[in-house]
Structure 1
């Protein structure tokens, strides 16, 4: 890979220069876990590690000034990302670009978000029931979803589907149960689509008749894609481990939109060209995405379909 050979020295230099920052981040993370009892502190944002350190320092100062409300974080995962709220997994999300006052407001009101989390399974069950027990799940690869927003989406889709089912019933060609299929409810503006992993992606504003027709037309394709994903996720895990070990990578990560089949193709080609690439990849923090770049903290980005 000519591009890699031309840029690896710069990447390793930047990686080494940021090592003290990474070490400080580990120290700050451990300090927050020990003092607040949080499960872990995670960075889920496109900014570099220096920005993460800044967020940790800001949050540390916030915790020192308001120790009496920090008990709401005990036992939770704390994630600095692109949104502020409580995720569907119960993680506390803080927008890395917001002021500390906004973080404080959320921490004070975490209990209200928890009440939403308790209601969500009932709404998911309602959508599932009206679609013959289809599994209502979350996207396998996507940004975190906030609980309150998701509750509103489920409520809207349930109303639409219930009205349609009451008037029209089920299509005659549907199986008795759709429990082998997966459906993801998303924002109003999203597309109605079948994902590469076999999930039906449904915007909450989608008219019920369109959704029912789309399901009817794509059940066979969804079944094939789901089966392929089940096979590929284990293959991807094995190839990931091999690449990290055989190339002696500092780390190997990927964007959320890089599905297992794309990652498999990327890793398989890396391993097939191991002799040529090994000298350039040793010690590199490699990120599989859709473009070539060396980030300011030394991470090397390559597209999944990289060229030698």
Structure 2
């Protein structure tokens, strides 16, 4: 490349076999020369230095004060839009509730859930489409789904919990194909507890648990493959398992088969997350070194859950909320802290949160249906 912008452009054009006729008509600025410097210094926005951690050059200190967002200031700024969104979606929510109740009643389902990245309006479309499918194939659909839970998600199949999952992106023809294959998963679902028991025995009677992930559903056949891989790798590592774990019972420790790949980790709830691709030698060593911490964190988290339920209910009543929920990555301790602070400060919030649906997260946001997301450690007004 050239030492100036002009030379750089010429070099690029030549390498691309493009004509230079236009650039040759532009007079060369002799004052600029071949300097690699710009005619004026670049002044970066303060966000550049905040994101990179770099210090601004001398004399470029920014006097613009940082505006600290508080819960009440954010609500005052956005509450009108939140109320408008909620009112505009009332009819859609009513349709969803009506269709959902009808399908549960007609098909004798345990439940119908929406676990997709798509918005709730898409849920209504799925329910309407499925209702038409039921009208076309009433006997087959009912016989297949009776006593089961139906989930509309981002993929299709039968989950490791036995729920029938239909992708919200598929059409009715795809759904009926999935429903016709549901019975084939019954044998897989029967094998899973047996495989989990064998996995538990290889790790000194450790607890094997299945976590539910919103927007991430593991299918039964996928889970069987993951369990099989772990069983094989741990069987080949029994000598190391005896060395690291000995005869000590691990019945107060939990593991979760998390997926094909990922970090071998101890979660903030005290559960060991085991990717199926990790060698058995690393698994037994990691569990042996962290089993005390895992057991302690697990017991602490279970005790926190009781306080969490109480804190949530108290917060819901004091603030007169329609609903209060949290993101999966919000711990019990964080949820309790947030709820207690909201109850303490509820008189300052006035009617801002009355009859709203609140979700505790790590950020401020307005959802499409009017649900409010606030950070668990949001700053309250002084």
Please report the TM-score for the alignment, with normalisation by the length of structure 2: 0.77
CA distance in 2, matches of 1:246, 1:172: 51
CA distance in 2, matches of 1:282, 1:90: 38
CA distance in 2, matches of 1:169, 1:25: 52
**Aligned 8 A contact 2:240 2:284 in 1:** no
Displacement of 1:140 in angstroms is 6.3
Match of 2:187 in 1: 115
Report matched runs for 1:27-46 at 5 Å.
27-46=98-117
Aligned residue pairs total: 307
Match of 1:23 in 2: 94
Alignment counterpart, residue 227 of structure 1, candidates 299, 313, 317: 299
Match of 2:172 in 1: 100
Match of 2:260 in 1: 188
Displacement of 1:307 in angstroms is 2.2
Displacement of 1:89 in angstroms is 2.0
CA distance in 2, matches of 1:302, 1:149: 35
Displacement of 1:162 in angstroms is 0.5
**Aligned 8 A contact 2:207 2:251 in 1:** yes
**Higher RCO (CA-CA < 8 Å; seq separation 6+):** 1
Q: Which runs of 5+ in 1 are unaligned?
A: none
CA distance in 1, matches of 2:338, 2:118: 24
CA distance in 2, matches of 1:218, 1:87: 30
**Aligned 8 A contact 2:261 2:278 in 1:** no
For residues 187-222 of structure 1, the C-alpha deviation after alignment (integer angstroms, 9 at most, x for no partner) is 112211001111000001110111111011101110
Displacement of 1:227 in angstroms is 1.4
Q: After TM superposition, where is structure 1 displaced by more than 4 Å over at least 4 residues in a row?
A: 172-175
Is 1:4 paired with 2:111?
no
Please report the TM-score for the alignment, with normalisation by the length of structure 1: 0.95
Report matched runs for 1:63-212 at 5 Å.
63-70=134-141, 71-139=143-211, 143-165=216-238, 167-171=239-243, 174=246, 176-212=248-284
CA distance in 2, matches of 1:254, 1:179: 29
For residues 211-265 of structure 1, the C-alpha deviation after alignment (integer angstroms, 9 at most, x for no partner) is 1110111011101101111111011101111111111111111222222122112
Displacement of 1:290 in angstroms is 2.2
Displacement of 1:173 in angstroms is 5.7
CA distance in 2, matches of 1:256, 1:69: 36
CA RMSD of aligned residues (A): 1.6
For residues 37-79 of structure 1, the C-alpha deviation after alignment (integer angstroms, 9 at most, x for no partner) is 2122111224332111111011111112222321110111111
Alignment counterpart, residue 213 of structure 1, candidates 276, 279, 285: 285
Which secondary structure does the structure 2 equivalent of 1:301 belong to? strand
CA distance in 2, matches of 1:210, 1:184: 16
Return closer, same or farther for 1:124/1:83 CA change in 2, 3 Å cut-off.
same
